[in-house]
Chain A
Amino acid sequence: MSINRQPYLDNIMNRFKGNVVVAKGSLENEIYISTNKENLDDVCTYIHKTFQSPLSSIICNDERSLNKNFTIYYVFSLPDKDLFFIVFIPVSEQQPDFPSITPHIPAAHWYEREIKDMFGLEPVGHPDPHTLVLHGNMPANTYPLRKDFATNTRLPHIESKLPFARVDGEGVFEIPVGPIHAGIIEPGHFRFSAVGDTILYLDAKLFFTHKGTEKLFEAMPYTKALFLAERICGVCAASHATGYCQAIEKVAGIEIPPRAKFIRTIILELERLYNHIGDVGNVCIGASFLMCGSHGFRMREHIQQLNETICGNRYLRGMITIGGVRFDIHDDLKKHILDLLDRVKTDFKELVEIMFTSSSFLDRIETTGRLSLEHAKGLGVVGVPARASGICRDTRRNHPYAAYSEIDFDIPVYHDEGDVYARVKVRVDEVYQSMSIIEQCFNKMPEGSIKTSLKEFPPYKQALSYVESPRGEDIYWIMTAPNNMLYRYKVRSPSFCNWPSIPYTIPGNIVPDFPLINKSFELCYSCTDL
């Protein structure tokens, strides 16, 4: 599918004349625009406003060994065309700062803080430039993602205290929660300022599970890094693996066989299915509706057992590989999958019927944890919460990959709601869509090979890769190095975009509703913290 990129280029060139240079990009749907620190804010704001294109990622890269500079890339994606604008600026080591675009594009705030922690570049004009990732426990002037920092460096642990914002006043008290939680969930630290049961303010600190994943990518050959990509997140393993493989395939310029494309689509939809069904059950548990929760988990378990039959792992690890997929889905397995999905469909319909006719359950989820369209747009929220707040955005439709361009499916969007109920409804609708996608894939899937081989790829090539995981849009940016290594692999998970929106949905709700709201967003800590 070819896109006419010229009108967009003319528009930008006319507006900024000599202040921007369109760099040569090898990929058709990526436009690299070079500018400088002075014009950065204008260019980004112009693209963001004129084309209504949300900020998809900000990537910093230590290119000092190549051109003596750090480079920061700002990725914007067009909402209605399969096109990305990538604005980039050089930042010299002597003057390690860059202008913050957060005041005009709030979605940039975490990215800029992350760059400050990992590269030591100061975002000038950032409203809240506190440490984000490293918790201040690293010795001064150690920046892990700089190239002169060795992966296995052992550093002393510096005592530090994280700053928390709180509400003071008569009758206001603070409830600290985490990082070791009461439930079986990932670690984060939350502080609620509350009056009685009503929350006034929530401050959240994450990045406890920071494992140095992006640094590890640079230390591994590309074949091994696939298994690291699968382990970025436990429950989006297939999405992260697909994103990684697509990135490698793009820089190497190879096309995967059509059958592999369809199998990838099936696997990605199975991942969405087990996540969504489990999440619907989990919301019920959050509202103390244990009976429906158990049914949800039972169905999730059936699908995970199916996953294990298909590829030997309950989380679909080890299925997707560079150049295609590892295992074929033969006719017996196909019949087994379709039979099981048929049973689950009836089962799930009955469950939803019970859930949505239970007045006590509806009372808990309706109007709870509202995320307004304005906040969702401003903070660049993606995935299920975005669609529940009225943003029609789905990578499978906007930037098709795998076999999605050949499949017919709907994207459920709920306008003017944005509450827990709407997010549950989006998931329920997507479950039926996923089942239909899997059926269509089996009908359209051609015979043939499932894998093409890849031996090596050219160095210093860049590419974007994108996947719609069960939680939303994943964006990856790759730059290759010589000897089949990666120079930089940046992962931007949907949870990274959605986490900052949670504190806006909480005030006015009661403390026991926080777990419910959190579960309706179903955000991952591990793929945020990396």
Chain B
Amino acid sequence: MFTKFQKSLQTGVVTSHYPKEKDYAPFRFRGRIEIDNERCKQCNVCVEVCPTNAYTWIEDKDKRYLQLDHAKCVFCGMCEEACSYRAIRITNDFELAATHKDGLLVKAGLDKTASVEELGMKLKEKIFSVFRRSLHVREVDAGSCNGCEWEVVALYNSPIHDLQRFGIDMVASPRHADCLLVTGPPTRNLETALIKTYHSTPEPRMVVALGACACSGGIFQDCYATKNGIDNVVPVDVYIPGCPPRPQAIIYGFLLALERIDK
């Protein structure tokens, strides 16, 4: 008995202070991608090396712009390595979550402000303000690789991130939940289960898409066994990209959903 107390007392408090204190991801961490339109020579190399087709060209007023979709990105870093003009820079910013899929796009050279205003429309009804102080979450694996699951476990079971300090709790059944945290592309074999789970959750309910697979199908997109993102099956309120997103990024996503962060 004594050794147990001793061990815990010796260890002390280990919980992180994110987001009160800013968390800096390590130097090699691959987060938000920035495109420098001045430097981009439109050589198409990034489009070719990307394993998930996250880069596309968009036409606007007879000009061609590079567009990156963070929802599809698996943060492999190949684009930055391949770009010989240094137009692509991978930062260590992990706070990528957005309430609308357009918020995950990086449009090189295009004025961003216009689209941001459109983007505000999703949560304007404030129906989720009832969850502001307390949110009960059911995690649903719709075919992920287990990476996102372990990050949620790290959030919930590890004393370092301790999700409960935000009043967010994981519950055992969708019937107890306000929010479904869904991972996976989703797969064909789980589609029915996901729909049933969604309908078992009492309203108002919120759906959070966690990880590249849930946001867009990720690397498993366009396959006979998967759908391209869970928003093809159930409506999604918040997207948290990353492969997998680090625990702090998931916390950021939750707080964004609960309107505790102004963006």
A contact set with B: CB distance below 8 Å? 134-135, 137, 144, 149-155, 157, 179-180, 182-187, 207-213, 215-216, 220, 223-225, 227-228, 231-235, 237, 278, 281, 285, 291, 293-295, 297-298, 300-301, 304, 308-315, 317-318, 327, 350-351, 353-354, 357, 524-526
Contact = CB atoms under 8 A, between A and B. Distances in A.
21 contacts: A149-B224, A152-B223, A183-B172, A184-B149, A184-B170, A185-B141, A185-B149, A208-B187, A209-B143, A211-B185, A211-B187, A211-B225, A223-B49, A228-B51, A231-B243, A281-B157, A298-B11, A308-B25, A318-B30, A318-B76, A525-B146
Given A228-B51, A318-B77, A179 B193 contact: yes
Given A151-B224, A212-B225, A295-B11, A228 B219 contact: yes
Given A184-B153, A209-B187, A228-B51, A154 B224 contact: yes
A220 B146 contact: no
Contacts of B154: 297, 300-301, 304
Contacts of B222: 151-152
Interface in B190-217: 190-193, 197
Given A208-B189, A231-B243, 6 more contacts: A180-B138, A209-B141, A209-B189, A231-B74, A297-B159, A308-B246
**Could you tell me the dominant secondary structure of chain A's interface residues?**
loop
Contact of B141 (A187, A312, A357): A187
Q: List 8 tightest A-B contacts by C-beta distance, closest first.
A: A234-B147, A212-B225, A312-B28, A182-B172, A234-B146, A224-B51, A297-B158, A212-B223
B97 interface: no
B133 to A, nearest CB: 23
Given A293-B157, A309-B28, A350 B224 contact: no
A311 B28 contact: yes
Contacts of A312: 26, 28-30, 77
Given A149-B224, A184-B149, A211-B226, A135 B51 contact: no
Nearest to B143: A209
Contacts of B161: 301
B126 interface: no
A515 B34 CA distance: 44
B157 A294 contact: yes
A176 to B, nearest CB: 13
B4 A354 contact: yes
B229 interface: no
A308 B26 contact: yes
Given A297-B158, A308-B246, A354-B4, A209 B219 contact: no
Quick one: which of A209, A293, A353 has the most chain B CB within 10 A? A209
B249 to A, nearest CB: 11
Contact of B150 (A179, A213, A234, A350): A234
Nearest to B138: A180
A277 to B, nearest CB: 12
B223 A215 contact: yes
A312 B76 CA distance: 10
B253 interface: no
B224 A153 contact: yes
Contacts of B219: 216, 227-228, 231
Contacts of A298: 11, 14, 158-160
Contacts of A293: 157
Nearest to A155: B224
B174 to A, nearest CB: 7
A233 B158 contact: no
Nearest to B160: A301
A211 B223 contact: yes
A223 B50 CA distance: 10
A151 B217 CA distance: 14
Contact of B158 (A215, A294, A354): A294
Contacts of A228: 51, 219
A114 to B, nearest CB: 14
Nearest to B225: A212
Contacts of B75: 313, 318
B189 A135 contact: yes
Contacts of A134: 189
A234 B145 contact: yes
B147 A300 contact: no
B158 A208 contact: no
A187 B193 CA distance: 10
Contact of A212 (B77, B78, B220): B220
A327 to B, nearest CB: 7
Quick one: which of B25, B143, B170, B192 has the most chain A CB within 10 A? B143
A111 B193 CA distance: 26
Nearest to B8: A291
Contacts of A304: 154
B188 A179 contact: no
B225 A234 contact: no
Nearest to A351: B7
B128 to A, nearest CB: 22
B149 A234 contact: yes
A530 to B, nearest CB: 9
Contacts of B8: 291
A186 B26 contact: no
Nearest to A237: B147
Nearest to A294: B159
B184 interface: yes
Nearest to B53: A224
A83 to B, nearest CB: 33
A232 B246 contact: no
Interface in B119-173: 138-154, 156-161, 170, 172-173
B244 interface: yes
B113 interface: no
